[in-house]
A and B are shown apart, each in its own frame.
Chain A
Amino acid sequence: KAGVTQTPRYLIKTRGQQVTLSCSPISGHRSVSWYQQTPGQGLQFLFEYFSETQRNKGNFPGRFSGRQFSNSRSEMNVSTLELGDSALYLCASSEGTSGFTGELFFGEGSRLTVL
């Protein structure tokens, strides 16, 4: 099976712009979670989608949003970029069925630099 695929791998934006990141989960996985990793705050949970519905949400401002499509692929969007949004954004997929409590499979991440 192919792993979790994230695109783009690297991107540079300027303050005020917006960005969209994409994640294709492992075939058959219906849950996609997003995480932000920065040197200062570490790994923080952004949100989780399951069957096109947001199931869990972290403590991030409304500038951070996401969606999931019927084929389980997911996108996250960050609007009005700030310097502090520079980070590695990681996507993870899992079976995600009700009561799921197992491992997550992570992609290689999208490294966003905001200038």
Chain B
Amino acid sequence: GQNIDQPTEMTATEGAIVQINCTYQTSGFNGLFWYQQHAGEAPTFLSYNVLDGLEEKGRFSSFLSRSKGYSYLLLKELQMKDSASYLCAVRDFNKFYFGSGTKLNVKP
């Protein structure tokens, strides 16, 4: 079956750096997405990886290793508004599989 694993919850301090890991086991692989979801809101797109390596987008970076079935999202210079859930999703052909999300608490 398809399996996407993420830590349930993490806490970090404002201004710090945090890394959210995601491991996956899927039948196929057509890309990995990271989404941010604030409480009570819709998920919004953060980043996409399909090749191994690091993709950087401002304060957010995402890394992928296809051989290890592993990705991480790196958030730098944390701000209070980064408190949210972060969802890892794998596209397998025309289907999407999501992890259960990592709730990030940013404290002052």
Whether chain B is bound by chain A comes out as: no
What is the interface of chain B, defined by CB distance below 8 A to chain A? none
